[in-house]
Amino acid sequence: MELGRKIAEALEAATFERVAGVGLANAEANHPRIARSVLELAETPLGAGDAAIVVGAGPSLYRRRSLERLRDAGFAGTIVAADGALGACLRAGVVPHVVVSVDPHPERIVRWFGDPTLTGPRGDDYFRRQEMDPTHHGDELAANRALVELVNAYGPKIKVATATSAAPAVVERCEQAGMDLYWWNPMYDDYDAPGSLSRRLWEMNGLPCLNGGGNVGTAAWVLTHAVLGKPRIGLIGIDLGYAPGTPYEKTQYYPELVELLGDRHREAFIHTVHPVTRETWFSDPAYHWFRDVFLEMARGADCQTVNCTEGGLLFGPGVTTATLDSFLADAAGGTTRHG
């Protein structure tokens, strides 16, 4: 078995190791701020109709100008964005109804909402290196200042589906920007198992547990289907892979792969040809695991999931592929034809 796939098989347990401790600590810290359950979102007016678009922060957003096309089409349905895509949405003139945030990292995630406390470049090169939002690659401070202003301006129109694992700094920033918070618990483990952390969390705060699928984009899809009840979901920016030509050094987990594998780190990347575009995208073990998990969840879901990214690596049983334009045309016409 390829090295990358072998590592991917270990990531369900590895993710638990990574996030459970800090996620539970954040849940305790956030407890006094919890006022609404995410279930209330289902009763809240969002977009019209049955169709929804879930926006991830993958490179296809820029390559395919997905957000500009979404804006120009005047899509009337519900728009749910991963936190990492919020800046791209607002810069493109798309105000999502709901933003989803889950990552417990104490410092990084607040930047997706514009960090008013940022006065100089941090030692952490994450935002200069990551492929998700190239706006941060150049002048980090200017990009952050612009985002602070955008989020301050549109925050009161945006609802945040906040996991209890979210860093308190993110919660504070969202409240400061006038965003309404709707809370949920990440599902950490089997709630039927003895000593389950998920069950302990539910007993503590009474909030529903969502099976997050490894990353915030997948969690946004879960929420759109399982909480909002949308039966037709189009995906943009959920590539779960790296675009052709992306240097390995610019990938999400590059430093960690080098630390783990040394000179063999290149063997961890998995290259795949997209069946429609014929482009060769690639994944690292994490993205490969995210893809497998998404397909497993989508196969069993009682909804239509349409990949409108026009690229990426998310294809297989349970997910149909269509252009964004055809999905939007179908949504506007109220038809159900896809693929």
Partner 1 sequence: MPEFLKGNYKVDVKIEDKADAADSTDEFEKRALSRLGGSICFVSKKSLIWQGDGEKDQAKADGAGTKDR
Stretch binding partner 1 (CB under 8 A), from 125-133, 134-142, 145-153, 278-286? 278-286
Q: Note whether 270 and 288 are within 8 A (CB).
A: yes
Q: Note whether 222 and 52 are within 8 A (CB).
A: no
Task: List beta partners, residue 82.
Answer: 100
Based on the shown chain and the rule CB under 8 A, indicate whether residue 272 belongs to the binding site for partner 1: no
Stretch binding partner 1 (CB under 8 A), from 53-61, 69-77, 138-146, 287-295? 287-295
Residue nearer to partner 1 on the CB measure, 71 or 199: 199
Could you tell me the two tokens for 70?
């979404």
Q: Minimum distance between the CB of residue 80 and partner 1, rounded to whole angstroms?
A: 14
Residue nearer to partner 1 on the CB measure, 55 or 216: 216
- Residue of 60, 61, 90, 103 interacting with partner 1 (CB under 8 A): 103
Cα–Cα distance measured from residue 299 to residue 223, given in angstroms and rounded to the nearest whole number: 16
Q: Minimum distance between the CB of residue 314 and partner 1, rounded to whole angstroms?
A: 15
Based on the shown chain and the rule CB under 8 A, indicate whether residue 290 belongs to the binding site for partner 1: yes
Q: Minimum distance between the CB of residue 210 and partner 1, rounded to whole angstroms?
A: 6
For partner 1, the binding residues in 191-250 under the rule CB under 8 A are: 191-192, 198, 202, 206, 208-216, 219, 222, 225-227, 229
Based on the shown chain and the rule CB under 8 A, indicate whether residue 299 belongs to the binding site for partner 1: yes
Cα–Cα distance measured from residue 109 to residue 92, given in angstroms and rounded to the nearest whole number: 20
Instruction: Give phi and psi for 318, each to the nearest 5.
Output: 100, -15
Q: Say how many Å lie between the first and final Cα of the chain, rounded.
A: 32
Name the amino acid, one letter, at 124.
D
Based on the shown chain and the rule CB under 8 A, indicate whether residue 295 belongs to the binding site for partner 1: no
Task: List beta partners, residue 271.
Answer: 282
Based on the shown chain and the rule CB under 8 A, indicate whether residue 263 belongs to the binding site for partner 1: no
Type and span of the H or E element at 272: strand 270-273
List helix spans (H) across 118-167: 126-129, 140-154
Cα–Cα distance measured from residue 261 to residue 162, given in angstroms and rounded to the nearest whole number: 35
Stretch binding partner 1 (CB under 8 A), from 46-54, 173-181, 273-281, 285-293? 285-293
Closest residue by Cα to residue 54 from 181, 226, 178, 202 = 226
Cα–Cα distance measured from residue 52 to residue 22, given in angstroms and rounded to the nearest whole number: 32
Stretch binding partner 1 (CB under 8 A), from 69-77, 97-105, 127-135, 321-329? 97-105
Stretch binding partner 1 (CB under 8 A), from 71-79, 183-191, 242-250, 330-338? 183-191
Residue nearer to partner 1 on the CB measure, 144 or 198: 198
Based on the shown chain and the rule CB under 8 A, indicate whether residue 104 belongs to the binding site for partner 1: yes
Cα–Cα distance measured from residue 162 to residue 10, given in angstroms and rounded to the nearest whole number: 27
Q: For partner 1, how many residues bind (rule: CB under 8 A)?
A: 61
Type and span of the H or E element at 183: strand 180-186
Q: Note whether 308 and 271 are within 8 A (CB).
A: no
Residue nearer to partner 1 on the CB measure, 192 or 263: 192
Based on the shown chain and the rule CB under 8 A, indicate whether residue 300 belongs to the binding site for partner 1: yes
Based on the shown chain and the rule CB under 8 A, indicate whether residue 283 belongs to the binding site for partner 1: no
- Residue of 40, 107, 279, 296 interacting with partner 1 (CB under 8 A): 296
Report CA-CA distances (Å) from 299 to 1, 103, 275, 337.
25, 25, 19, 18
Closest residue by Cα to residue 180 from 193, 162, 195, 192 = 162
Residues that bind partner 1 (CB under 8 A): 7, 10-12, 14-20, 39, 102-105, 163, 165, 186-192, 198, 202, 206, 208-216, 219, 222, 225-227, 229, 253, 256-257, 259-260, 284-286, 289-290, 293, 296-302
